[in-house]
Each structure stands twice: as C-alpha cells, then as structure tokens.
Amino acid sequence: MMKVQMLRWSALCGWLALVAILCSGCNQATSDKTTEATNTNKEVDDHSGWWCAEHGVPEEVCSLCNAKAAAEFREKGDWCEEHNRAKSQCFICDPSRAEKFTKLYEAKFGEKPPERSD
Ligand SMILES: [Zn+2]
Ligand SMILES: [Zn+2]
C-alpha cells in the first residue's frame, strides 16, 4: 500500500515539475516582452534608440549597424568599399557628410548629438 502511494506521489511530482517548467517558460516569454517594451521606452527617452551615437546617424539607416539599410545602400551604389559603410555616411572620406545627420538630430531633439566614438 505504501509503495503504491509513493509511486503515485512521484508520478504526481513529476507531472507538477513538468507543468512548472512549461509555465515558467510562458512566464519567461511574457516577462521578456515586458522588459523589451520598457527598454524601448527608455531608449526613446534618452534618444539612443533612434540615434546611433557610435556612428553619428539614425540607427534606422546606420550602414554599420543595420544590415538591411547597408544592403539598400549597396544596391543603390552608395557604398564606400574602403571603409565598408554607405558612402553618404562615410565621414572618414568626407567629414562634412556628418553635418546633414547632425542637423537631423538637432531638428528632432533641439540639441547636439553625442560625440561619435569612431
Ligand atoms: Zn551604427
Ligand atoms: Zn570612406
């Protein structure tokens, strides 16, 4: 009798463990989404979600960070082979190109963009 009960218990425990694993899986996914949303909001607040501070252009069109944008620039023939970025974003070849993007930033936030790190 005791043995049968023990077996039932272990079966129940195993099942509960499985349910717990599955549930924590769902919870994880949900909380990940929440964290992501919070992060995005925070990024928008400090401008860094939109702006690629490292390369001095909007992240959306950053040919160094955004593979999709890079592909589009390459397709258009707007590409600097030497520095492996969009020619229109190659401030190494022509520093004055940065101005256009700086103005974009200033128009949006009314302040100078952060110093580029490259
Ligand atoms: Zn970038
Ligand atoms: Zn270049």
Give the list of residues 6+ apart from residue 47 with CB closer than 8 angstroms, or none.
105, 109
Tens digit of each residue's pLDDT, the chain (118 residues): 566 676 777 777 677 776 665 656 655 554 454 444 444 444 444 556 899 999 999 999 999 999 999 999 999 999 999 999 999 999 999 999 999 999 999 999 999 999 886 6
Please, which residues have CB less than 5 A from ligand 2, an ion? 80, 82-83, 90, 92-93
CA of 38 from ligand 2 middle (Å) equals 37
Name the residue ranges covered by the structural domains of the chain. Answer: 42-118
Q: How far is the CA of 50 from the centre of ligand 2 (A)?
A: 23
Left if phi > 0, otherwise alpha if psi is -120 to 50, otherwise beta: which for 86?
beta
Residue of 95, 72, 74 lying closest to 84 (CA atoms): 74
Structure pTM? 0.59
